[in-house]
Amino acid sequence: MSARPVALVTGAARRLGREIALDLAAHGFDVAVHYRHSREDAEQTVARAREAGAQSACFAADLSDEAGCRALVPAVLAHFKRLDAVVNSASTFEYDNSERFSYAAMDRHWRANTAPAILLAQALHDHLKTSGRTGCVVNLLDQKLFNLNPDYFSYTLSKAGLQAATTMLAQALAPTVRVCGIAPGVTLLSGKMTGSEFAQAHQLTPLGHSSTPADIARSVRFLIESPAITGTTLLVDGGQHLQPQPRDVMFLANPSKDA
């Protein structure tokens, strides 16, 4: 069994998931790196985690497939012999609005953004409930939930479902597993946003700047390491949620933008 606590980070091959995994590796955690297709990138995350002194390994799973999702935690346990935290960072982010909404779009987002986090929380609880240890789940949400606009309609609905699940799971899985959320602001380029549009959107907050990947990673670690916090969401967005925005920031940065 790993002597250090073990964290599973979904979508950790690249982008925000990688930043979270490497921050945990540098601060006393061994890290299970989940990926779907990007094996080479996942192996790079593992190599960097090991350079930081952590044990690390990568695990492939299509989280939108229920059987694949249910097999992930057993695979991690077979390797590390323990699991203490799950960070649900993997996400699908596709544009639609109320006019373009379809069952298919909602299903894709639900299967990627909502249902896997519930199953992985259940699996962590099942592992820990007879171990005498406690654990934590951190779900990556979005400041959009606190400042709604109709862009990215299905994505936003899926994150709203995850927010509700965060509260209900915190109730259902206590005292063994704490469940918390992080709501980032404009943190990385996404969708069709250009670099200049990102730079402009990143400044559309009361603080004059939004969140960085390091901000989000630090906040995730704070929640994992805070035993009295559960059922709540940290908004790490430079105060973006305080400013009413009729559209997604991509379109505020460039009103002529075509989704």
Q: What gap in Å lies between CA 75 and CA 99, rounded to an integer?
A: 41
Each domain of the chain, given as residue ranges in start order, spans 6-253
**pLDDT tens digit string along 205-223?**
888 888 899 999 999 999 9
Q: How far is CA 43 from CA 11, 34, 38, 250, in A?
A: 12, 10, 9, 32
Task: Write the CATH number of the domain with boundaries 6-253.
Answer: 3.40.50.720
pLDDT band at 258 (very low <50, low <70, confident <90, very high): low
**pLDDT tens digit string along 39-68?**
999 999 999 999 999 999 999 999 999 999
pTM: 0.92
Mean pLDDT, rounded, for 187-214:
77
**pLDDT tens digit string along 91-146?**
999 999 999 999 999 999 999 999 999 999 999 999 999 899 999 999 999 999 99
Say whether pLDDT at 254 is over 70. no
Say whether pLDDT at 250 is over 70. no
Say whether pLDDT at 188 is over 80. no
Say whether pLDDT at 257 is over 60. no
Say whether pLDDT at 160 is over 90. yes
